[in-house]
Amino acid sequence: EAGVAQSPRYKIIEKRQSVAFWCNPISGHATLYWYQQILGQGPKLLIQFQNNGVVDDSQLPKDRFSAERLKGVDSTLKIQPAKLEDSAVYLCASRLGLAAANEQFFGPGTRLTVL
């Protein structure tokens, strides 16, 4: 089966600019996650969707980050305006459902550099 797809793979912007990332989860996966992975650290959850509803966005900096999953399939993550500390890899992951028995599959990530 096809894996989690993300685009773009790389993005370089200047601080205060805006940027958007796209994720297409594995077909049929109801749960979708966005993680931020700063160099040398583990992934940190930003937001979790179940279908098109938000389950957890407690770690999302809502003054500058937003995410949506309007039709319960693809998702976009936006940063506006970007700061230097937003430089990281943004990973999208999906899983079949909420049960812990379901494996979480990661996409290749988008590497963001903010200058």
Partner 1 sequence: GENVEQHPSTLSVQEGDSAVIKCTYSDSASNYFPWYKQELGKRPQLIIDIRSNVGEKKDQRIAVTLNKTAKHFSLHITETQPEDSAVYFCAAGAKEGGKLIFGQGTELSVKP
List contacts with partner 1 (CB under 8 A).
31, 40-45, 48, 55-56, 91, 95, 97-109
Q: Which is nearer to partner 1, 81 or 108 (CB)?
A: 108
Least gap, CB of 81 to partner 1 (angstroms): 27
> Is 61 or 108 the residue whose CB approaches partner 1 more closely?
108
User: Nearer to partner 1 by C-beta: 81 or 96?
Assistant: 96
Dihedrals phi, psi of 5, to nearest 5 degrees: -105, 140
Pairing assessment for the beta strands 65-68 and 75-79 based on DSSP bridges:
antiparallel
Sequence letter at residue 27? S
Question: Least separation, in Å, of the C-beta of 16 and partner 1?
Answer: 28
- Min separation Cβ 80 and partner 1, Å: 25
Q: CA angle at residue 41 from 40 to 45, to 5 degrees?
A: 150
Q: What does the alpha-carbon distance between residue 73 and residue 41 come to, in Å, rounded to a whole number?
A: 28
Nearer to partner 1 (CB atom), residue 10 or residue 80: 10
The distance in angstroms from the start CA to the end CA of the chain is 37
For the CB of residue 99, give the shortest distance to partner 1 in the complex, in Å: 7
DSSP β-bridge partners for residue 50: 31, 53
